[in-house]
Amino acid sequence: MNKTCHIAKLCNEIQEIMENHLQTKFEKAI
pLDDT along the chain (30 residues), means of 10: 72 91 86
How crowded is residue 12: how many other Cβ atoms within 10 Å of its Cβ?
Answer: 10
Q: What 8-state DSSP symbol labels residue 7? A: T
Task: Report the predicted TM-score, pTM, of the whole model to 2 decimal places.
Answer: 0.54
Q: Is 8 helix (H, G, I), strand (E, B) or coil?
A: helix
At 19 the pLDDT is 94
pLDDT recorded at residue 27: 87
Supply the DSSP symbol for 18.
Answer: H
Q: How far apart are CA 21 and CA 5, in angstroms?
A: 25
